[in-house]
Amino acid sequence: MRDAAPEAPLAVTGRRGNAELLVAIDDTAERHGLHIGMALAQARAMHPALDVVPEDADADAALLEGIADWCLRYTPLVACDAPDGLLLDITGCAHLYRGEHELVADLAQRIDRTGFAFRIAIAGTIGAAWAAAHDGEPNAYANGEERSLLTPLPLGALRLEAPTVAALARVGLKRIGDIIDLPRAPLTARFGTALLRQLDRALGREHEPLNPRLPVAPYVAEQRFHEPIGREEDVLGTVEKLAARLAFALERRGDGARRIELTLFRTDGELRRIAAGTSRPLRDPYDIRALFAERLAALADALDPGFGFDMARLEVAVAEPCPPEQIGIGGAEDTVEIDRQVDKLADRLSARLGAQRVRRLIAQDSHIPEIAAATVPAQMSGQKDLADGWAAFRRHRAEADLPPRPLRLLTRPEPIEAVAEVPDGPPLRFRWRRALHEVIAAEGPERIEGAWWSEPGHASENLARDYFRVEDKAGLRFWLFRAGLYRDLTREDVAQGAIAAPGWFLHGTYA
């Protein structure tokens, strides 16, 4: 039998300046004497069979972020250390895996299944762990072992700039141990402050912050499964169980959830994130389950459990104070219950259709109908203030004995041709969109003066308006107005074009 052909060395190349260099190599290439930073021409001269792949920085960054998301199963504090590293703060998390060594073993086993090469090190500081993983012996080092770990390593293990490492080498300083006990002032004067800052951070003398990719939620509960789950009923049951755990912590601090996120970890490393918002601070596990039932129904097949989920995490991303509600007397509790049911409906619709598609109106400080209200997401905070604004608006119209306005208006008032019996009276007939309407009943007018100093816009907004509710022979009812008053009009103004003649506009229809 013929021997199998030897595996060709593989290298990833990238342009650095004007040269094409090797930026990554596999074990076979390393055994053949190639190294990172070597010119591609030199590498091909040494091994013509070299397999070369051009680098794709964007794809590499996306892959690194995907692996970082997958590592959230171990800790919420995960940061990317571009171009090829990840930093995990496992403080307080190792006991979930019965210790640091077991956590590393689980992480190594899962990464090995994907076919990636890796080096894992644990230390008391970011600098020491980075140095052990890149230039030392990957292992778990206890706090206080940073000096013995770093001493034999090259100065590049401190994450220094290449010119600084070269300058240190020119004066015979090549190992970290060569500078640990040297006087600090001469080192700083000659090589800058970055050298000693990196040394102090690696030794634990100075704190080095870890900037996680994702913000850490104030309330978190998670569940690991002995057997992967994939059914929707199992996912919703897990949500309710985790929500019950969060309810105790929320109640203890007097908070409620306004935004909740569910993260499902698939066995193949993929993640599924589902988020739901609420109209008011929420703690009830059953209500939280109902929200995610709507979200899962909206996702349909997009959940895609694959071979199942082996871990689930429920986070309260946004929390707000939720004091206990006082039960009122004289029917006040009925009003509170109605408001609560309306909020539940808004939450369920928002979960199913999307938060931006379910909106409610808020009153604005204007009498001009087209700008007297604005739409906001139904789950927007401050709903009590919005309700108070509408209550004041309705109370004002009731006290003035004004008729109701249409629920929906045209985007902009549309001009119509109208004939009135007297100049300031209601129309007898009008033509709108080429259709003639004979008026059989009219109610009004309701006069609105435009606030010209603060509400510019349509030409009719700066003129006094007389609104009428009219009904035609077909039983259709319309809301229209005359912009301008004949009493303010003179022949000289019309002749000179200073003031336009009053015109009629249709603003809305009644259902």
- Record: fold of 219-332: Dna Ligase; domain 1 (3.30.1490)
Query: Mean pLDDT, the chain, as a whole number?
Result: 84
Single pTM value for the model: 0.71
CATH number assigned to the domain covering 10-55: 3.40.1170.60
What is the rounded CA–CA span in Å between residue 231 and residue 478?
Answer: 53
For the segment 280-299, the average pLDDT, to the nearest whole number, is 88
pLDDT of 394 strictly over 80: no
Residue 460: predicted pLDDT: 47
* Strands of 219-229's sheet in order across: 219-229, 309-321, 255-266, 271-282
Strands 10-16 and 51-54, sheet pairing: parallel
Which is more confidently placed, 511 or 35?
35
Among 85-94, 152-161, 256-265, 326-335, the least confident range: 326-335
What is the rounded CA–CA span in Å between residue 61 and residue 428?
Answer: 71
For the segment 344-367, the average pLDDT, to the nearest whole number, is 81
Query: By the 8 A CB rule, do 149 and 207 touch?
Result: no
Task: For 235-277, write each residue's pLDDT tens digit.
Answer: 999 999 999 999 999 999 999 999 999 999 988 888 888 998 8
Query: By the 8 A CB rule, do 271 and 263 touch?
Result: yes
Residues 6+ apart with CB under 8 A from 318: 257, 258, 259
Please check whether the two domains, 10-55 and 219-332, share a CATH topology: no
pLDDT of 388 strictly over 60: no
pLDDT of 384 strictly over 70: no
Q: What are phi and psi of 10, to 5 degrees?
A: -120, 135
Which is more confidently placed, 94 or 197?
197
Domain residue limits, the chain: 10-55, 219-332, 358-402, 409-510
Query: By the 8 A CB rule, do 383 and 280 touch?
Result: yes
What is the rounded CA–CA span in Å between residue 18 and residue 491?
Answer: 81
Residue 459: predicted pLDDT: 45
pLDDT band with cut points at 50, 70 and 90 for residue 337: confident
**Most confident listed range (52-66, 354-368, 379-393):** 52-66
Among 161-170, 232-241, 379-388, the least confident range: 379-388
Residue 368: predicted pLDDT: 79
